[in-house]
A = this chain, B = another copy of it.
Amino acid sequence: MKRYTVVGAGLVGSLLSLYLSKKGHQVDVYERRKDPRKNKKSEGRSINLALSERGWASLKEVGIEKEVLFDAIPMYRRVMHDIEGKLSYQDYGKNSQAIYSVSRGGLNRLLIEKAESKPNIKISFDHKCIAANLNDASVTFEHQRKTNEIKNDAVFGTDGAFSKIRLEFQKRSGFSYSQDYIEHGYKELNINPGPDGSFRLEKEALHIWPRGGYMLIALPNPDGSFTCTLFFPMKGELSFESLDSSNKAKEFMSQNFGDALELMEDFENQWNTNPTSSLVIIKCDPWNVKGKSILLGDASHAIVPFYGQGMNSGFEDCRVLYEIMEKSDNLESAFESFSTTRKPDADAISDLAMQNFVEMRDLTGQPDFLLRKKIENNFSNLYPDKWMPLYSQVTFSQIRYSKALAEGKKQDAIMQKVMKIQNIEKLWNSEEVNNFILNSLL
């Protein structure tokens, strides 16, 4: 039996503790914040989460997928709102394939509840990590002004994008690291339920207002409300900085997102009160120090939210690491193997997430793009073993992200040629086009 330290009881840390406890090991989890079950307001970052295949698969292995599903809302398609409020649609997958809107806070509380019910998991809240020795897996925590050093067999850093454990990695020679703030930040805005508790936009969908250089999205909540997020440049001519009064902001919103603005009560107050947050991409290498310390989730690979894969990839980290640890009792080779094999997948989903930002904010507003998706889906329905759309590979499969990225590039090259076929808008489901794709795949 081993004894493990997990730093951070967020989504990834609390799920990881469940995995690590499976074989009877003792797991000590330390969380900087107070117990979130006692204070529902302090949920931290709250971009809506879209749970998909990788997330579900990871939750299943610890047996909590049904409870999660109970409060989740399936989103079967994208609904695009153009500048006049006209709608267009794009299914995410086939038949009943959907991504699921879930509440970060609710899911986190459920995972913590489940972890605490295990006799060999102990969660200590209000414990701030202030130092760590990565070589011998000892971590020092501060709690009520007292410090305490914990030394177990290994330490797992699941303390998020601004990880304190990773800061210790950063002091080591040979540790490559980058933090990259993208041009865009975000602000959340709320659409309340109708007077009768009804949804005021199509419920089981993800709404997008694509405007080229920026966009608004909305995800449904179980209470009938929608959480909207405006992704917008932080600085520059048209930016959060330039919209420096709620009047200017309202003017801008009414010009660009008129149908959404109409549904936002108390817009000015929301604009002034809700924080403007920045988005950071974090990459690093290696993720482990021998068999003693290892990083997972946002701590090792924080990505932008545009593919809905931040949580899903963090959950998959837990499953992948667990499977490697199952095969070997040697923590050093297990950690090395995880860091080496999982890193290309983390890099891939990071790049895919940035690509998907362009797709969402710009391409989804263009007829050509919707036609292209239609051709892909048509071909994929005819030849499901020959073509799985990139979005499906990422969202509805457990294919390695790095493989999906590579496949996606090949598909993109083919589709660029397809879109140049004369009269493609008429020929889109013709034998000619399908044969062209078939031949291109040879």
Residues of A within 8 A of B (CB): 170, 173-181, 234, 278
Contacts and interface: CB of A to CB of B under 8 A. Distances in A.
A174 B179 CA distance: 9
Contact of A180 (B178, B179, B180): B178
Contacts of A178: 176-180
Contacts of A234: 174
Contacts of A177: 177-179
A179 B181 contact: no
Contacts of A180: 176, 178
Nearest to A234: B174
Contacts of A181: 173-176
A181 B175 CA distance: 7
Contacts of A175: 179, 181
Given A176-B178, A176-B181, 5 more contacts: A174-B278, A175-B179, A175-B181, A177-B178, A178-B179
18 contacts: A170-B179, A173-B181, A173-B278, A174-B181, A174-B234, A174-B278, A175-B179, A175-B181, A176-B178, A176-B179, A176-B180, A176-B181, A177-B177, A177-B178, A177-B179, A178-B178, A178-B179, A178-B180
A181 B170 CA distance: 12
Contacts of A278: 173-174
Contacts of A176: 178-181
A343 to B, nearest CB: 14
Pick the 10 closest A-B CB pairs, nearest first. Answer: A178-B178, A176-B180, A176-B181, A174-B181, A177-B179, A173-B278, A174-B278, A176-B179, A177-B178, A175-B181
Contacts of A173: 181, 278
Nearest to A277: B173
Nearest to A235: B174
